[in-house]
Structure 1
Amino acid sequence: MEVLQRDPDPATARDPAAAVLGSVSAGRQPLSCPNHEGKVMEFYCEPCETAMCHECTEGEHREHRTVPLRDVVEQHKAALQQQLDAIKSRLPQLTVAIGLVTEISQQLAERKNDAVSEISSTFEELERALQQRKGVLVRDLEAICGAKQKVLQAQLEALRQGQENIVSSCTFTEQALHHGTATEVLLEKNPFRARAVKASDVPPSPDDVKRRVKSPSSGHIRQKAVRRPSSMYSSGKKKENPIEDELIFRVGSRGREKGEFTNLQGISTSSSGRIVVADSNNQCVQVFSNEGQFRLRFGVRGRSPGQLQRPTGVTVDTNGDIIIADYDNRWISVFSPEGKFKTKIGAGRLMGPKGVAVDRNGHIIVVDNKACCVFTFQPNGKLVTKFGSRGTAERQFAGPHFVAVNNKNEIVVTDFHNHSVKVFSADGEFLFKFGSHGEGNGQFNAPTGVAVDANGNIIVADWGNSRIQVQPWPLGPPAPNPWLLPPSPRPRSGGGDRLARLAGEGKGLGGAALWVLLGLRALLGGLGAAGPKGIAGISSLGVLPAPTQPPRG
């Protein structure tokens, strides 16, 4: 039942007790009892929580406990004051919390803006890096395609020249047989025979080339020009063949079985008389004897330690351990002589290792093709030194490929896109360089493989020019014929050094095979249809130790 109805204020209408207390507290006129006209409310019923007059206490509330209204007002005032103090004590905390939330909100907005800026900047850098990498890859592709197109054009010209020689010789012979007098035929019999032999000397098929290569007597090729008695007959252009070397043997063919290759990349030789070959596409390493006999094959495709993804460079240390540069796995793998995995080096540092060598102190020298620099590691993987960056300066590279070390621990690196070879001290100090872009003696078109013989001569695989060049030591002019290597001094054993590594890329003389020559003198020119230099796409090379006995044949 409503007790108070006098106050029109909505707030007090909702809470009659509060209205009574407020009125009493404010010293206003006493409130009249709504049930008994003219009576003042002076009492408070605690069970009913309402104010009442004296007559109410004797009526319906006579069984209830009542107290003077003023005492209840004082109690309520004290309770309200206590609640007010408690609420006020929380206001500073709320103020601090509001400030903290506001500050966090502002920080969140600022961090969001910073994150958006960082994301935008990162993606801009990635776009620039991708565009830059795209440009590098396109330039590399253009250079590779240009070099290969040049090789193909040379092969085409050689084939056409051979065709012209055959047609010319046939025409000359037919004219002599049908129109020459008996005296002319008798007098010119030998030149006719020489012409016919020369024309038929062109191998009709790759199989014929293989049969010639396997024969020791056919490895030594000489070609002579024949002078005509008169100018009424044409035999085409005369092409000089510089080959005067002897092929010892050829190992391998295209395929994926033991002793077969698909993309030879690196090669090395050991003091124990083994040839170690890294086959990038077959993702394995194969080992042969110095005589070309298959000994071992190991390697499992994968990206875990002990597996090979794209082996490129390979070398053998003094313990016989086989050290492999894995381009795609971005580390160096070390295997025992039996092909058992031992450890990996350079993980997290290398971006694209390609060439690898070991110096006289056992340090592992690695050429990082992608990072355009050279790393030197201890056998336990600890970094000793690093030098080089991308560019054209003396201590810079543009796609370095392979590396060799001479007996002074000087580091020799082929600089692919700078078309030169650079030599550094063991500490990475630049010493000298040689070579420039071109086809002349001492010039290179994308050099790749490099080796140093026992006399310190630097042997370079001139990939784009499909030839080998030798830089004599001490430093002097390059060999007079780029594909005719100067004869090396005969060692005391009487054997003569052998060049072991002319690995092609599917072009020229059978492509995917290992060629071994005698005497460091000639590249396999004239044996196939790969242009005047004979073989195309040489990637790298190495030098075998001299045998104790001279090779037979």
Structure 2
Amino acid sequence: MAAASPRLADQIREELKCSICLELFTRPKKTLIDKKQETDNSIIHTCNQIVQKIKQSTYKLLSEAKENHTKNLDRIQTERDRVLADVNELSAACDRAEQELQQGWVEILNLSQQTALTDVVGKYRGKAPPTLVQTQPAVFQPTDTPVPVLGHVTVPSLPSPIPTAPTPSRTDTAEGRGHHHGNQKQGEHQPQWITFGGKGSRTGQFMYPVGVTVSDEGEIFVADRGNMRIQVFTLQGTFVRQFPIVASGGQKMKPHDVAMDGEGNLWVVGNTRFAGFAVQYNKQGRVLRKFDLQRSGWSRGVAVDTRRNHILITQTTGDWDKPHGEVLVFSPDGTFVRTVGQQQGMKYLWFITVDREGNILVSDIWNHSIYIFNEDGQFLFKFGGKGSGVGQLQDPHGICTDGAGNIIVADRDNRRVEMFDKTGKFIKHITTDVVRLQAVAMATQGQLVITNEQGHNVSIFWNF
């Protein structure tokens, strides 16, 4: 055995060399992914600029056409008013003559009355009848300008050889990536976004989209409640696939919210007509497991504590005028673990998230506040309060956190998306004047995804 030890040590050393060699591929892969996302964002930005120019041109042409149309209508109205005055004068003369004839005065019409009638009739007897008003309606003549070319995707010459060992840098860390992609000084960049969807049941359309989550690979999963399905898109808004939400026995379920677990599987909560469920799917839509929930007329939210592999589900009970909100914690097999937030006076809870430290964040719609608990369920603090001022909330819905721990809230009735730091201090408005916001989700690549119930669409924000 003693003679075999040196050979075994040599084998281990060779294995270690292979492991070090494999590490050489990690940095190029990350760089390639980052460059791909940068290229995609640049293409979308250029497209948005061209679309904006086309919209501006459209508004200008429509304004010119409207101005021409108004002038033609005014011309017709002026001529109509002139002719109407003549018609009214003749009609009045006829009415007087008919009235006098009916009274038997035809024999005693005095000279002045006959003269007046004769003058009116004579005034119009030789007058030319009105002619058709000549209008000049505008005509749109499209140009023969070819469709603008966004640009070209080129492959530059290879850079200098990759170093034999990766050199750590600040941008290799999670904090560094967050700083690089999304923490520029406020005002340095204007937020950019794309919006897709629209009301309907066809592929890519929505009927009241609610919950949303994003996988590590950058796929967006949207809970399309009215159509009782999950739709999947890329971070560029391209449709990928869809699958129905089925609870049991083929019965479809209306989804309320959706979340991703540590293994890349999907958890969906919702109701059928008679029962509530939490269902786990793989990314292709195959049911993996499910467990029953108490049937409720209130919507539910779901989040996953990936460190403990716990499923967190919001629950609201009670009458409509006296609701009570709490968070239920389950293991993936449906075993109940504990309840969070029973003593904090929370009312109507829907959306929930778990940050990187395991803290539980939940939005209370009725109390207009965000409640924060630690990973053991102990209450830490809350922030918000009803109002439209800085740091206040009104009917908060979706909630998520970014890589730096900042808290992002869909401030629904104030029609804005807010960013707070991890202590609840207001940082900035991400976007404003958006009606009927629902859920928000943060991609690992730095994009913010927002669902909109009234517009039946989804928006992807970056550089905010």
Give TM-score scaled by structure 1 length: 0.44
* Residue in 2 that maps onto 1:453: 402
The one-letter amino acid of 1:376's match is: V
Q: Pairwise mapping of residues 362-373 of structure 1 onto structure 2 (< 5 A)?
A: 362-370=309-317, 372-373=325-326
Q: Deviations over 1:298-318 (max 9, x none)?
A: 1156x6356432201101112
- The answer to whether the Cα contact below 8 Å between 2:199 and 2:207 also exists between their aligned partners in 1 is yes
Return closer, same or farther for 1:442/1:386 CA change in 2, 3 Å cut-off. same
CA contact (8 A) 2:416 2:431 kept: yes
Please state whether the residue corresponding to 2:288 is helix, strand or coil: strand
Instruction: State the partner residue of 1:355.
Output: 301
Query: For the Cα contact (< 8 Å) 2:266–2:280, is it kept in 1?
Result: yes
Identity fraction in percent:
30
Out of 450, 458, 463, the position equivalent to 1:514 is: 458
Within 5 Å, which residues of 2 pair with 1:394-405?
A: 395-405=344-354
Partner of 2:334: 381
In structure 2, stretches of 5+ residues that fail to align are 1-62, 68-148, 152-186, 318-323, 433-443
Q: CA deviation at 1:216?
A: 9.3
Residue aligned with 2:385, SS: coil
**1:407 aligns to what?**
356
- Taking the TM superposition and a 5 Å limit, the aligned residue runs for 1:75-154 are none
Larger radius of gyration: 1
> CA 1:385–1:462 in 2, change beyond 3 Å: closer, same or farther?
same
* Other structure's SS at 1:262 match: coil
Counterpart Cα distance in 1 of 2:348 and 2:188: 32
Deviation at 1:412, TM superposition (A): 0.1
CA contact (8 A) 1:353 1:366 kept: no
Contact between 2:349 and 2:364, CA under 8 Å: does it hold in 1? yes
- 1:358, CA displacement in angstroms? 0.7
Q: Choose from 215, 218, 226 the match for 1:273.
A: 218
Instruction: Determine if contact 2:326/2:346 at 8 Å carries over to the other structure.
Output: yes
- Which structure 1 residue ranges, 5 or more long, are not aligned? 1-165, 171-214, 218-241, 485-494, 522-553
Alignment of 1:14-93 (within 5 A): none
Say if 2:266 is the partner of 1:322: yes
AA matched with 1:441:
V
* Counterpart contact for 2:266–2:281, Cα < 8 Å: yes
Specify the alignment match of 1:313 in structure 2.
257
The structural deviation recorded for 1:477 is: 2.8
Judged with a 3 Å threshold, the aligned counterparts in structure 2 of structure 1 residues 216 and 275 are, in CA distance, closer, same or farther, namely farther
2:413 pairs, out of 464, 473, 476, with 464
**Deviation digits for residues 410-438 of structure 1 (CA, Å, limit 9, x no counterpart):** 10000000000000122221001001100
Task: Report how far residue 269 of structure 1 moved.
Answer: 0.6
Change (3 A) 1:458 1:451: same
Structure with the bigger percentage of strand? 2
Please say if 1:288 is aligned against 2:236: no
Q: How does 1:220-299 map to 2 (within 5 A)?
A: 245-299=190-244
Aligned residues: 265
SS at match of 1:295: strand
2-side partners of 1:403 and 1:306: how far apart? 28
Give distance in 2, aligned partners of 1:282 and 1:288.
16
Distance of aligned partners of 1:342 and 1:307 in 2 relative to their CA distance in 1, 3 Å threshold: farther
- Equivalents in 1 of 2:430, 2:219: separation in Å? 28
CA distance in 2, matches of 1:367, 1:306: 25
Q: Deviations over 1:280-331 (max 9, x none)?
A: 1111111112222212211156x63564322011011122211101144312
Question: Equivalent residue of 2:216, what SS?
Answer: coil
1:349 and 1:385 map into 2 onto residues whose CA distance is 19
The alignment status of 1:416 with 2:365, answered yes or no, reads yes
- Name the CA distance, whole Å, in 1 between partners of 2:190 and 2:251: 39
Question: How far apart in 1 are the matches of 2:424 and 2:404?
Answer: 14
- TM-score, normalised to structure 2, is 0.52
For residues 277 and 406 of structure 2, what CA distance do their matches in structure 1 show? 30
Cα gap change, 1:426 to 1:300, in 2 (>3 Å): closer
